[in-house]
Structure 1
Amino acid sequence: MKQILCLGDACADIVIPYGAAKSGSSVFPEFTFGGTAANTASGLGRLGADCAFLGKAGDDYFGRAMKNALQTDGVNTDDFILDINLSSVLILVVLDEKNERFPFIMPRENPSHLQLFDEDIPDRLLQQVSFVHTTGLMLFEEPAAGTVCRFLEKCAACGIKVSLDINLRIETLQQNRDRLFQAIETVDYLLGSGIDEFAPLTGISDPLEAARSLVTDKRTIICRMGDLGSVVMDRNGEFACEAFQVKVADTLGAGDAFNSGFLWALARGENFQFANRAGCAAAAINISKSGARNCPNELELLSFLAQ
Structure 2
Amino acid sequence: MKKIITVIGSYNRDMVFQTPYFPRPGETITARNFEMFSGGKGANQAVAASRLGGDVFFITKMGNDELENKSKDKFSKDGIRVNYILQDSDLPSGTAVIMVNDNGQNCIVITPGANDNLLSSDIDACSHAIEKASFVLMQLEIPYNTVKHALDISYKMKKKVILNPAPTVPLEDDIYQKLYLITPNQTEATLLTGIEVENAKSASKAADIFLKKGVQNVIITLGENGAYFKNNEEQFLVPIQEVEVKDTTGAGDIFNGALVVALSEGKNWRQAVEFANSASSIGVSRLGAQSSAPYRNEISI
Q: TM-score range by the shorter chain?
A: 0.7 to 0.9
Q: Aligned ranges for residues 1-307 of structure 1 at < 5 Å?
A: 1-17=2-18, 29-94=34-99, 101-106=106-111, 111-121=113-123, 122-138=126-142, 144-169=143-168, 173=169, 176-178=170-172, 181-194=173-186, 196-206=187-197, 207-208=202-203, 209-215=205-211, 219-293=216-290, 294-301=292-299, 303=300, 305=301
* Per-residue deviation, 1:94: 4.6
Any conservation in 1 of the 2:104–2:245 contact (CA below 8 Å)? Answer: no
Q: Which digits, 9 at most, give the CA deviation of each residue in 1:99-118, with x for residues without a partner? A: 86443334x6xx21121223
Deviation at 1:73, TM superposition (A): 1.5
Tell me if the contact between 2:104 and 2:246 (Cα under 8 Å) persists in the aligned partners.
no
Q: How many Å apart are 1:33 and its aligned residue?
A: 1.5
Q: Render the CA deviation track for 1:25-45: whole Å, top value 9, x for unaligned.
A: 9x6631112111110100111
Q: Is the 8 A contact 1:134 1:164 kept in 2?
A: yes
| Alignment deviations for residues 49-76 of structure 1 (CA, whole Å, 9 cap, x no partner) | 1011101111123322332222221111
Using the TM superposition, name which of 112-121 and 39-48 deviates more.
Answer: 112-121
Whole-angstrom CA distance in 1 between matches of 2:230 and 2:99: 38
Equivalent pairs, count? 285
Change in CA separation of 1:74 and 1:280 when aligned onto 2, cut-off 3 Å: same
Unaligned runs of 5+ in 1: 139-143
Q: Which deviations, in whole Å up to 9, do the C-alpha atoms of 1:197-237 show, x marking residues without a partner?
A: 11221112344111222125751001101100001111101
Q: Is the 8 A contact 1:16 1:30 kept in 2?
A: yes
Provide the C-alpha distance between the structure 1 equivalents of 2:253 and 2:97, rounded to a whole number of angstroms: 20
Distance 1:98 1:148, change over 3 A: closer
- Measured against aligned partners, the alpha-carbon deviations of 1:6-41 in whole angstroms (never above 9, x if no partner) come to 000010112245779x8889x663111211111010
Using the size of structure 2 for normalisation, the TM-score is: 0.86
Structure 1 stretch 8-17 or stretch 97-106: which is displaced more?
97-106
Contact 1:240–1:276 (Cα < 8 Å) also in 2 = no
Q: Is the 8 A contact 1:222 1:232 kept in 2?
A: yes
- Verify the 8 A CA contact 1:52 1:75 in the aligned structure 2: yes
TM-score of the aligned structures, taking structure 1 as reference length:
0.84
SS of the equivalent of 2:280 reads helix
Identity %: 25
**Partner deviation per Cα, 1:244-266 (whole Å, 9 max, x = no partner):** 11111111111111112211110
The separation in 1 between residues aligned to 2:148 and 2:20, in whole angstroms, is 42
> CA 1:274/1:98 → structure 2, altered by over 3 Å: closer, same or farther?
closer
Q: Deviations over 1:145-194 (max 9, x none)?
A: 2222122112112211100001125xxx3xx444xx44333210100112
Q: For the Cα contact (< 8 Å) 2:13–2:95, is it kept in 1?
A: yes
Q: Do the aligned partners of 1:36 and 1:135 also contact (CA within 8 Å) in 2?
A: yes
Residue type at the aligned position of 1:284: S
Distance 1:35 1:295 in 2: 13
